[in-house]
């Protein structure tokens, strides 16, 4: 599961060969990457995908502390592409997003978390 688009599609339950929603999913993935850029995560100049050729190592650059980016992007895309019907599930996903954003921010700038003590 190296391709960003294919791995997110798999998590969404969409087959690799089914391309009807690729444009929609790519737009949502890129929106999540924009949020990450604003949080200081990833390449300084930002990052985007345009097809299934972009792979996670292009973005993560072998930084294992950022592996949760994959789950974060999945949850962000899921919330806009296929939101849950249950309000409690929706709230849980929003909490996951908040926690991922906080943890990713700490991962790239650990000094911020240490200053709050």
Q: Which domain holds residue 31?
A: 4-115
What is the pLDDT at residue 103? Answer: 92
Indicate the number of domains in the chain: 1
Q: What is the pLDDT of residues 14-37, one digit of tens each?
A: 999 999 999 999 999 999 999 999
How many other C-beta atoms lie within 10 A of the C-beta of residue 101?
A: 17
Predicted confidence (pLDDT) at residue 1 exceeds the cutoff of 70 = no
How many other C-beta atoms lie within 10 A of the C-beta of residue 43?
A: 12
How far is the C-alpha of 32 from the C-alpha of 75, rounded, in Å? 10
Quick check: pTM over 0.75? yes
| Cα separation values, 32 from 15, 96, 110, 115, Å | 21, 14, 21, 27
How far is the C-alpha of 85 from the C-alpha of 99, rounded, in Å? 22
pLDDT confidence band for 61 (50 / 70 / 90): confident
How far is the C-alpha of 102 from the C-alpha of 2, rounded, in Å? 25
């Amino acid at each position: 599961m190296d391709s960003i688009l294919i791995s997110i599609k798999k998590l969404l339950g969409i087959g690799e060969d089914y391309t009807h929603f690729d444009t929609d999913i790519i737009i949502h993935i890129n929106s999540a990457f924009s949020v990450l850029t604003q949080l200081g995560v990833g390449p300084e100049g930002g990052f985007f995908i345009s097809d299934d050729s972009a792979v996670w190592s292009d973005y993560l650059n072998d930084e294992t502390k950022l592996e949760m980016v994959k789950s974060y992007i999945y949850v962000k895309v899921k919330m806009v592409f296929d939101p849950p019907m249950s309000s409690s599930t929706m709230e849980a996903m929003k909490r996951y997003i908040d926690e991922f954003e906080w943890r990713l921010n700490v991962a790239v700038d650990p000094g911020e978390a240490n200053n709050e003590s």
